[in-house]
């Protein structure tokens, strides 16, 4: 049985998300808020990373601390909007490897096609956190995770700013083993496949351009 998505309820998340949704927020402000929210998302998405003991010498003497086990993390950005979350994640875990998946959604049929795929060679030994600001229909996210699994990943988290119930349901059907971490579970999708109330097109607002 699929687990319910993890929805962040911290006051800072709710405050920053409200400002992010505001259509009067500038491109620079949108980028900054996205980066700040990605740090908070990363904190939750990495909660279950394994730790191993490590002997160190603290200023007051020897002690046993803890550090991450194994090869740690790979962040996987779904282009183009996933890059808006990537910088903040790397601020928190600068040693992580990074993969990129380019997906294009047909605005009429909502079908997804791939135009770019590049992943580190040691993905099987890492927890992969797949990044996209929006989980709308779920088709892009599910397609990306299928490709990540084909590259050998077994421990996968999907992190997004907003999710729609329809997207969550699709992801749980296609990939019930993947944890979903989001800042908000919104009401629904509109007739064009956009999240309501949402925040508009995340890529357009991040980069000040229109994805054609």
Q: Is 139 annotated as a binding residue?
A: yes
Q: Is 136 annotated as a binding residue?
A: yes
Q: Is 32 annotated as a binding residue?
A: no
Torsion of CA 51, 53, 57, 61, to 10 degrees: 120
Q: Which two tokens stand for residue 166?
A: 């329809």
Question: How close are the terminal C-alpha atoms of the chain, in Å?
Answer: 38
CA angle (26, 129, 161) in 5-degree steps? 30
Is residue 155 annotated as a catalytic residue, yes or no?
A: no
Q: Is 133 annotated as a binding residue?
A: yes
Q: Is 144 helix (H, G, I), strand (E, B) or coil?
A: helix
Is residue 204 annotated as a catalytic residue, yes or no?
A: yes
CB atoms < 10 A from the CB of 10, how many?
12
Q: Is 18 annotated as a binding residue?
A: no
Q: Give me the catalytic one of 31, 32, 35, 105.
A: 105
Q: Is 61 annotated as a binding residue?
A: no
Q: Is 140 annotated as a binding residue?
A: yes
Is residue 211 annotated as a catalytic residue, yes or no?
A: no
Q: Give me the catalytic one of 19, 31, 32, 204.
A: 204
Is residue 201 annotated as a catalytic residue, yes or no?
A: yes
Q: Give me the catalytic one of 109, 122, 179, 182.
A: 109
Q: Which residues are within 8 A (CB) of 183 and not within 5 positions of it... i.e. 6 or more apart?
A: 7, 8, 13, 17, 37, 40, 41, 160, 161, 162
Q: Is 38 annotated as a binding residue?
A: no
Q: Is 201 annotated as a binding residue?
A: yes
Contact 171, 159 (CB under 8 A): no
Q: Is 94 annotated as a binding residue?
A: no
Q: Give me the catalytic one of 201, 209, 211, 212.
A: 201
Nearest one of 179, 201, 212, 211 to 27, comparing CA atoms: 201
Binding residues: 80, 105, 132-140, 195, 200-202
Binding residues for 5-phospho-alpha-D-ribose 1-diphosphate: 80, 105, 132-140, 201
Residues recognised as catalytic? 105, 109, 201, 204
Binding residues for uracil: 195, 200-202
């Amino acid at each position: 049985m699929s687990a319910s998505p993890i929805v962040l309820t911290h006051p800072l998340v709710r405050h920053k998300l409200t400002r992010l949704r505001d259509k009067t927020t500038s491109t620079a402000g949108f980028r900054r808020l996205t980066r700040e929210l990605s740090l908070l998302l990363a904190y939750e998405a990495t909660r279950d990373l394994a730790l191993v003991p490590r002997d160190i010498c603290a200023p007051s003497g020897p002690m046993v601390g803890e550090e991450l086990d194994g090869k740690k993390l790979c962040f996987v950005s779904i282009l183009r909007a996933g890059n808006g979350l990537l910088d903040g994640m790397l601020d928190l875990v600068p040693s992580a490897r990074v993969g990129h998946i380019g997906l294009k959604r047909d605005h009429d049929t909502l079908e997804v096609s791939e135009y770019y795929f590049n992943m580190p060679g040691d993905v099987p030994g890492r927890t992969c956190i797949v990044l996209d600001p929006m989980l709308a229909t779920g088709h892009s996210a599910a397609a990306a995770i299928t490709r990540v699994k084909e590259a050998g990943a077994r421990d996968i988290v999907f992190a997004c700013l907003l999710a729609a119930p329809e997207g969550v349901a699709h992801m749980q059907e296609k990939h019930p083993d993947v944890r979903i971490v989001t800042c908000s579970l919104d009401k629904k999708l509109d007739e064009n496949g956009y999240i309501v109330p949402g925040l508009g097109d995340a890529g357009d607002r991040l980069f000040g351009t229109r994805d054609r």
